[in-house]
């Protein structure tokens, strides 16, 4: 089996500390965070990498080889506790070599005349100085899935020159649910750092798109700020609808408040019982001047 039970929190395994860049300590010290787990995986054998290269006619980048020689895939998760409910939130994953498969180019509905991804090619898009040329679904590019992003899209290792593919021709791209491409990094190492420093927050890949992350994801980003996230995207127009949340107050334990007993209705002044006011002094006979008829 590739996977073993998650190591306990606070484990002193140096290779796990090196693999996660110490991010576990940051998460464990954050308010409300619980169940920070890493699924430990054994290192891949060199023959597994060679077999993958021969099978796919692609040379794996050197930094990616070094990663798989340390661990055959990566999976780290963490949750938050709200009241008595534990909500899974962070998810960081990189497929193992056996799951590093080429993006499916078969028919979408498995019918002979059904469209394929190659039919979605649009050559009207051109590269610019700010954005490199996008990958192609046809034979011009070779695409492998690194992470399924919990159904929010796919992070892909892309060979830009087709087969046979060279290691220096690789880039990391994000394919959103609408099948649009968004450039992430030009090396696997740079992408891995993005994955770790964004804490695996939901939809963090959409921060590198023109339309950004959803309002719901922005709320989580405001609570657990990524280490390298551009905070300018959380200000400006979003201030009009985004709640200002304080983590120390959101995850604070709620104490039960004692409800005071209701007092009885106040009686009118004339009907109250109790010590009466002293009677007014009677006027003396010497000072009184009665009127006689």
Q: What is the pLDDT of residues 236-251, one digit of tens each?
A: 444 444 445 555 555 5
Whether the pLDDT of residue 104 is over 80: the answer is no
Three-class secondary structure of residue 238 per DSSP: helix
Which CATH superfamily is 14-104+133-216 part of? Answer: SMI1/KNR4-like (3.40.1580.10)
C-alpha to C-alpha distance for 4 and 187, rounded to whole angstroms: 29
Neighbours of 291 (CB within 10 A): 4
Whether the pLDDT of residue 282 is over 90: the answer is no
C-alpha to C-alpha distance for 120 and 156, rounded to whole angstroms: 17
pTM equals: 0.69
The two three-digit tokens of residue 124, written as one number: 């009207």
Question: Which residues are paired to 3 by β-bridges?
Answer: 41
Whether the pLDDT of residue 202 is over 50: the answer is yes
What is the enclosing helix (H) or strand (E) of 140? none
The more confidently predicted of residues 111 and 37 is: 37
C-alpha to C-alpha distance for 68 and 73, rounded to whole angstroms: 7
Q: What are the tens digits of pLDDT across the range 63-100?
A: 999 999 999 999 999 999 887 889 899 999 999 999 99
Q: Where do the domains of the chain lie?
A: 14-104+133-216
Q: Positive or negative CA dihedral for 62, 134, 120, 108?
A: positive
């Amino acid at each position: 089996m590739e996977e073993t039970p998650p190591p306990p929190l606070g484990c002193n395994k140096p290779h796990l500390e090196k693999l996660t860049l110490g991010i576990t300590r940051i998460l464990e010290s954050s308010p409300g965070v619980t169940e920070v787990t890493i699924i430990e995986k054994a290192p891949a054998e060199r023959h597994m990498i060679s077999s993958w290269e021969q099978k796919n006619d692609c040379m794996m980048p050197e930094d990616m080889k070094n990663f798989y020689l340390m661990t055959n895939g990566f999976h780290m998760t963490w949750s938050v506790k709200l009241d008595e409910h534990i909500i899974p939130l962070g998810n960081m994953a990189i497929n193992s070599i056996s799951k590093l498969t080429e993006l499916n180019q078969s028919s979408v509905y498995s019918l002979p005349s059904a469209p394929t991804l190659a039919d979605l090619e649009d050559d009207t898009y051109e590269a610019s100085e700010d954005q490199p040329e996008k990958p192609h679904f046809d034979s011009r590019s070779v695409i492998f899935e690194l992470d399924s992003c919990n159904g929010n899209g796919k992070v892909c290792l892309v060979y830009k020159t087709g087969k046979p593919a060279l290691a220096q021709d690789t880039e990391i791209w994000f394919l959103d649910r609408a099948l649009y491409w968004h450039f992430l990094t030009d090396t696997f190492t740079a992408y891995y750092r993005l994955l770790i420093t964004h804490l695996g927050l939901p939809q963090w890949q959409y921060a590198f798109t023109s339309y950004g992350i959803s309002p719901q994801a922005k709320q989580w980003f405001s609570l657990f700020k990524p280490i390298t996230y551009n905070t300018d995207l959380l200000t400006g127009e979003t201030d009009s609808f985004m709640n200002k949340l304080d983590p120390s107050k959101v995850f604070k334990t709620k104490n039960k408040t004692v409800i005071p007993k209701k007092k009885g209705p106040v009686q009118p002044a004339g009907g109250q019982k109790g010590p009466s006011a002293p009677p007014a002094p009677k006027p003396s006979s010497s000072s009184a001047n009665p009127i006689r008829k």
